Amino acid sequence: MDKEILYIVVPCYNEQEVLPETCKRLTAKLSGLIEKGEIAEESRVLFVDDGSSDQTWSLISRYHEMDKLVSGLKLSRNRGHQNALLAGLMTARDNADIAVSLDADLQDDVEAIDEFISQYREGCDVVYGVRSSREKDTFFKRRSAECFYRLMSWMGAEVVYNHADYRLMSKRALDALSKFKETNLFLRGIVPLIGFKAGFVSYERQERFAGKSKYPLRKMLSFAAEGIFSFSIKPIKMIASLGAIVFTVSIIMLIYALVSHAMGVTVQGWTSILFSVWAIGGLQLLSIGIIGEYIGKIYLETKSRPKYIIEKFLNE
């Protein structure tokens, strides 16, 4: 039986501080797997440069020249983490039998790859890396993450709890992933839709080895909104429900006003008027904003622009 070719896909954006250690650990892991006969010698660590403005691509090019296990993919401009990850996975699809994706910051346990491969051999087309705990996170990050996963579940999106983008995918799963054509990418929600047999590997997530996080609060909130609006129409349904509630309240208030007028009780107060104007105005603006999010995403989808453009691919 031929050994499988494994590609470890690593999206990178301004990762010059951590890249030397990341390359060292991943090439060591790949070499060890090759020596044990677990994977083929054609296996590679594929670094995807997402339009970095620092020395990330220069480092990738240098490591590629020094070690045949290192490959590099350079995008023509910054397209965001999810698009960079997809570019790497689709490149791996053309060159490998299995692909493992993880971030460059070394927070994901590299040693878990062995168990990924073991579960793949047991018939799993997708293997999810799942955090065993969030004890090292701040209270705010831990609670916000829990709220996010509960909200996504309530919205009807199928996501794996405490899973980021550390996963293994077989070539069959990658072929299925390529059929999802949406421009607004949220891979944590798309991959479970594939439906093939899946496995789970628990690991302890570490602190970032070096450099700064590329996901500050603003980007985290934007990413969460992307997942909600890309995988659920419940916000639209909520607007309809709120509209029905407001309409019901208005009917009640109309009846109350007519009865009060008939009984000669016509005392009017600024508080109720002011509250009504601001409440209804705020509800209208919120509703328009939510509908605008969906219209904007439909607008982007109809353009069918490429998700990424590859400038260079180092894989000799």
Residue 169 has pLDDT above 60, yes or no: yes
Write down how long the chain is: 316
Question: What mean pLDDT comes out for the span 157-168?
Answer: 81
For the stretch 117-157, pLDDT in tens is: 999 999 999 999 988 776 666 666 667 666 766 766 766 66
Better pLDDT: 247 or 175: 175
Residue 57 has pLDDT above 60, yes or no: yes
Residue 100 has pLDDT above 60, yes or no: yes
Residue 66 has pLDDT above 90, yes or no: yes
Question: What mean pLDDT comes out for the span 242-269?
Answer: 68
Better pLDDT: 248 or 103: 103
Phi first, then psi: give them for residue 36, nearest 5 degrees: -80, -5
Residue 209 has pLDDT above 60, yes or no: no
For the stretch 30-48, pLDDT in tens is: 999 999 999 999 999 999 9
| The pLDDT value given to residue 165 | 86
Strands (E), 150-280: 163-170, 198-203
Q: Residue 113: exposed, middle, or buried by beta-carbon count in 10 A (0-12, 13-18, 19+)?
A: buried
Better pLDDT: 13 or 240: 13
Q: Sorting pLDDT into bands at 50, 70 and 90, what band is 290?
A: confident
- Lowest-confidence segment of 113-122, 171-180, 276-285 by average pLDDT: 276-285
* Orientation angle between helical segments 56-66 and 19-35, nearest 10 degrees: 30
**Are 220 and 227 contacting, i.e. CB atoms less than 8 angstroms apart?**
no
DSSP state string for 85-102 = HHHHHHHHHHH-SEEEE-
Instruction: Identify which of 89-93, 202-206, 245-249 has the greatest average pLDDT.
Output: 89-93
Nearest to 208 by CA among 81, 22, 47, 13: 22
